[in-house]
Amino acid sequence: MKKDNPTPQGEEIVKNAFYNRIAMTSNAPMGLEIASAEGPFLKTITGKKYVDFISGIAVSSLGHRHPNVIAAIQEQLNHHLHVMVYGEFIQRPQSLFADLLTSQLPEQLDRVYFVNSGTEAIEGALKLAKKYTGRSEFVSFENSYHGDTQGSLSVTGRDIYRNPYEPLLPGVTFLNFNDDSDLDQITEQTAAVILEPIQGEGGIIPAEEKWLKSVRQRCDETGALLIFDEIQSGFGRTGKLFAFEHYGVVPDILCMAKAMGGGMPIGGFASSSKIFETFKFDPPLNHVTTFGGHPVSCAAGYANLKTILEENLIDRAPYIEEKIRTTLEGKPGVIEIRGKGAMLGMELKDKDFTQKVVEICMEEGVILGWTLHSNTLVRLAPPLIIDDETLDWTLGVIGKALETVRPDRF
């Protein structure tokens, strides 16, 4: 039916459509209208420049529009876009990316299945675990976050997400993160244990090495598979290509996305040839995707990973962590900074203080953000390519905001 109200002209069309035609996820979006993005910076239509200190929520680890990624996209556009559903035609960008990616992983993670997003990677991993083991139960952990689709939400350990959509998948048990007292609830009926080596939206909480090794051992004893969700922590953000490398514990299935495509949408889950074999029969094509492994996204992903490796950007993450900790730890209202590399969370005194600090930083041109539904934890996740001058200026803005607001006012 035709709308009665007339359509406004010019820039008002864009703003009106954002607020009245796009399905919103909250009543208070940030509402910046982005005109361009380059490196660590975003620029609005008014010409104001912002430092993206959250990397588009851990996506833009190479910054925005990295020239290597742009060149790869443009080159692939000259050849073809989508040509066939996943897994049927040989497509050069898929093959090259899969070869490079698996060459960086432990030997047993020798194949990768490309999808479009992080939550799709989780869905595929859960199905693969059920298919391979013949079991239907899962173990996850309190405060975990694995995505918003039905299966991913079913293994997400936060009631604020789950309650509106229950009932979800049955047979999911939630244990306490970093607590080995209840690992006996991983049994011979468990298809897989799923966890984040560093809990992201749950508060930037790293796993303890001894505990993670105990989880691995219990999975081996019971025949349950171990799934690591590295959607947020992957591709160099923690100072290793993947966070599990800090622990010396290898998963049976590894899920990835976010920084995987250099800004293009792509996700994936890696496992062994033996485990992936079960996707081929009973029946064939029992897990398929139309757009997974899109050639443009795979071309971008290949260029992204190649750049990370060749320019040693993984080594940049510990340097960024040290600069952040040195500058901000001990500032007024800072309770704790936790995490690894360029995946850090700054715990502040209380909600009101945190909100005011974030607002001041935004006014000064620094984009920060909370982890989801955490009112006192500020996400600090700059691009790995951020230069020292920009990093120092940004940390100066954050430090000044902390000192200006003063926690004693709240």
**CATH code for the domain of 341:** 3.90.1150.10
User: At 76, which CATH number?
Assistant: 3.40.640.10
Q: Are 241 and 306 contained in the same domain?
A: yes
Q: Are 285 and 191 contained in the same domain?
A: yes
Q: Are 323 and 370 contained in the same domain?
A: yes
Residue 383 preceded by cis peptide, ω within 30: no
Tell me the C-alpha distance between 385 and 310, whole Å.
13
Mind listing the pLDDT tens digit of every residue in the chain (410 residues)? 445 554 446 788 999 999 999 999 889 898 999 999 999 999 999 999 999 999 999 999 999 999 999 999 999 999 999 999 999 999 999 999 999 999 999 999 999 999 999 999 999 999 999 999 999 999 999 999 999 999 999 999 999 999 999 999 999 999 999 999 999 999 999 999 999 999 999 999 999 999 999 999 999 999 999 999 999 999 999 999 999 999 999 999 999 999 999 999 999 999 999 999 999 999 999 999 999 999 999 999 999 999 999 999 999 999 999 999 999 999 999 999 999 999 999 999 999 999 999 999 999 999 998 776 788 999 999 999 999 999 999 999 999 999 999 766 65
Q: Are 134 and 281 contained in the same domain?
A: yes
Classify residue 143: in a domain, yes or no.
yes
Q: Which of 264, 262, 233, 227 is nearest to 246 (CA)?
A: 233
Tell me the C-alpha distance between 220 and 222, whole Å.
6
Q: What is the pLDDT of residue 1?
A: 46
Range of the domain at 404: 313-350+357-384+394-410
Classify residue 103: in a domain, yes or no.
yes
Classify residue 47: in a domain, yes or no.
no
Q: Are 176 and 203 contained in the same domain?
A: yes
CB 113 within 8 A of CB 275: no
CA 125, 131, 134, 137: dihedral to nearest 10 degrees?
Answer: 30
Classify residue 150: in a domain, yes or no.
yes
Which of 280, 310, 340 terminates a domain? The answer is 310
DSSP code, position 183: G
Q: What is the DSSP string of 37-50?
A: EEBTEEEETT--EE
Q: What is the pLDDT of residue 114?
A: 98
SS3 for 199?
strand
Classify residue 300: in a domain, yes or no.
yes
Q: Are 101 and 218 contained in the same domain?
A: yes
What does the buried/exposed string (b/e) look like for 45-70 if buried means 16 or more CB atoms within 10 Å of the residue's CB?
Answer: eeeeebbbbbbbbbbbbbbbebebbe
Q: Are 240 and 366 contained in the same domain?
A: no
Q: How many domains does the chain have?
A: 2
